[in-house]
Amino acid sequence: MTKNPFNPIEALKTTSTNGFTKNNKMRNFEKYKQNLRQDGNYIISYTTKVAKIVGNELHQLGYWSMTTQKHINYAAKELGLELVK
């Protein structure tokens, strides 16, 4: 499927080799497409900021449900970051 050059959202999107769909500063992870994304330095699960990227570490912002913790662990692994709880 070719990209529509007249749709500015689609024109910005590219799929990289590391499993992300990305545009300017937001990325969706391949495994949890609907509920997990990176926005700048933050990891967002559903609509909540749950972790922050600081250098080579992913700092967890509190204690979360089992599902959200799976999201955080997955994001750390995919980004190659050490998780700090």
User: Nearest 5°: phi and psi at 3?
Assistant: -80, 140
At 33, the pLDDT band (50, 70, 90 cuts) reads confident
At 21, the pLDDT band (50, 70, 90 cuts) reads very low
Element (H, E) at 61: none
Q: What is the dihedral of CA 38, 44, 47, 49, to 10 degrees?
A: -130
How far, in Å, CA of 46 to CA of 5, rounded?
30
Pairing of the two strands 82-84 and 57-60: parallel
The full set of domain ranges for the chain reads 8-84
pLDDT per residue as tens digits for the range 51-71? 999 999 999 999 999 999 999
Residue indicated by tokens 């997955």: 74
Taking 50 as the threshold, does the pLDDT of residue 5 lie above it? no
At 32, the pLDDT band (50, 70, 90 cuts) reads confident
